[in-house]
Structure 1
Amino acid sequence: MKTSVLECIAKDYIQDSESVYHTWFLNNDDRLKAFRTIKKGLNDVIDDIESRTFGNDFKGSSLEAVVTAISEQKQVFEGAAHAFFWKPKLRIPDIYENPENQLAFGRFLADCLQAKNEEQIFNAIVNLDHLKIKGLGPAVANIIYFLHPTLYPPFNTAIVKGYNTLFKQKIKLGSWSSYLEMREGILAANECLHLSKDLGAIAGLLFEIGSNRLVIPENADEALIDEQQKRKKLMEKRHNQVLQDQLEDKTHSEIQSHLARLGQALGYKVWIAQNDHQRDWQGKKLGDYSLKRQDLHLPDSPVATTIALIDVLWLDDNGMIISGFEVEKSTSIYSGILRLQDLALSIKSQNCRLYLVAPDSREKEIKAQLLRPSFQKEKTLGSAMSYILFSDLTCDCDAMCKFGTDVRVLNPISRTVSANDLSTYQTSPFSGTSNT
């Protein structure tokens, strides 16, 4: 395809305010947070496989936490978990019952995690492909993307369809060799377009074409004859998703505002996550409650940037962090725990209280995540990790502002998990999906 035509298509993609370029790639803080969540989660997967404690099912496994964090990226990655569900009748993917395949998969993940260049990843893919593990195909590339976003693109049906349509190719879905061939074509096209070094941008373009949301001459007939109604429904769905995202942002801002007001009423200084300073609730910018970046005395730690993204912090007059809050309306509970864990490990203060703040409907999921062995064995978390439900905070916030004197005012509305909740962990499906 001529470069000029390709550039025109990319221009239409960029100018569409509801394209995934804007709703997922460019203006999505959760996408950036997911990179650390997935890297940390993969270490747990690798450790579980190497120690032979991974188990024989997707549900409840450390892999589920990783893939759920990917599928929560909406649109482009919606449905990314399906390839990893254990399908009993087909006995795939064959990494749950076959110990050798499971070990090979774990070492493949370790190789990709530790890789320093594209050749090392390429060799890891080729070695995995030679093993011919049933049901373990290029869907794994979605994991690789979050480890090396400038080297390997994500992969799904719509992206492949978009690539084949745009470049008149016949890339196959289940083939690693076809994925690698498609990658070469994507890299070459990206050199012309300069969308971003992050291949998620051009993958989003292909996704829009493959979904028939972005119409080009090569798919015009199909779109006009067969996809007109489907496209309308997709656009309505995307529009509703944008509205839902806006509603979730408002709820998130409301809860942050309550926590900020309460912190100030108790006499603490307040920090609001840097990326949320421009959000507002009831006409007031959240940044107006917050310390400035230079006033936040973060520890000299590689995770200082992650800590600065914690939704709300309360600090005393000496700049010591008294309490940290992660608000998780619809995003990954797991990633919220990781950020609070980073905070606990960095300040090593027994006096800092950590809280997950989430809707009432997610209480069972919170318990399940906090009862994971990988978190239970972390002594830095211990009893310091609690959770608060939205309904309790919004109902009692004004009263706590009026009568509270310090962080202990949260004791009546905060909750913890215990051994008695273990049955919840054993039976709760974290992602609400089926393995059949």
Structure 2
Amino acid sequence: MHDIRAIRENPAQFDADLGRRGMPPMSSRILAIDEARRAKILAAETAQAAQNAASKQVGAAKASGDEAEFERLRALVAEKKSEIARLQEEAAAEDAKLRDLLMGLPNPPLAEVPDGADEAGNVELRRWGSPRDFGFSPKEHFEIAGVKPGMDFATAAKLSGSRFVVLRGAVIRVHRALAQFMLDTHVNQHGLTETWTPVLVKEEAMIGTGQLPKFAEDSYQTTNGWWLVPTSEVTLTNTVAGDILEAGALPIRLTAHSQCFRSEAGSAGKDTSGMLRQHQFEKVEMVSITHPDESLAEHERMTGCAEAILQKLGLPYRVMVLCTGDMGFGARKTHDLEVWLPGQNTYREISSVSVCGDFQARRMNARFRPEGGGKPEFVHTLNGSGLAVGRALIAVLENGQQEDGSVTLPEALHPYLGGKTRISAEGALT
């Protein structure tokens, strides 16, 4: 959500910021609606003052026996009452129009974000690890002999259709171990508070984090109005919706492991093989609620938390800063972590870590009280995957595959697998 006062004060800057995200100039349209809204409010207040003055005079006219004046004033009171109601209704309509317009506009990028039309404009910041020299042609995850018994797409299609999977045996054990390992690392080493939240939320929660109203087709809604969360960013961030926090309570750092649901409306024909892009998947999410002065430093810290998971798993990756044309709707700056997938011979996204400034906080009305008092200010919010569990599973399987079809598993997962270290070519955990 955008600050209308900032748009009034510097419309040219607002248009320039949106222009970097491929948007046409919007300030003149916004300010015209804003001016109409304010004019209706002023007119209603003027009419209210006239009504109040006439109301005070009605009694005096009645007492003096001036019947004509009494009737005139009574008619004026009724007229102003009707006028006030009309003006307030018109002001509310302009207010709704302004809110709907602002709700549909993306967050302005930070000055340091590179310009670009799409992912080709993203900039690599650094790499960690080197892709392994296999000595044979590595397979994609669903082609590995030891993985096939535990990754059943045919049964999932029978149950639910495309973009679903049934996991069994050793594969689901590794999947569950990954989620537990991520949570334990974030809680014990990174200081995040583990949280469990619903996957069904009210519409207001989806509006608060920016999934609605613009991206309704990307998510699923139940027949009674609940929405299935596309990420627990929605619930974790909205835990402070409507609150006024004490400055000393910041930062708030949360993590959750949850089911996530996405319609993948814009990805027809993309990543249809395997489990890279699913309608239902699991993710360990990180969310931070911070003081405005600390959000950029927190962004770097959260990126490091996600990187630590990949490093502990021994998975090569690179960190990208997304350009203006590839950045998410609510982000001011985003780091993507892309893990090496030898089966595809490329890096693929496994985490996006974004700083949103006060964009979500304005939508949620989430504020804090400055130390020493003063008017409450909006908090800053950040979110990031720490990590996408299914994609981490893919990376572990592909990077650990052996020529005989078995898979060597990362040492970090051994304690979560009862000391087992590999998936055999027959699909057993050994």
TM norm structure 1: 0.23
Name the structure with the higher helix share. Answer: 1
Structure possessing the higher radius of gyration over alpha carbons:
2
TM norm structure 2: 0.23
Q: Which has the higher contact order (CA 8 A, sep 6+)?
A: 2
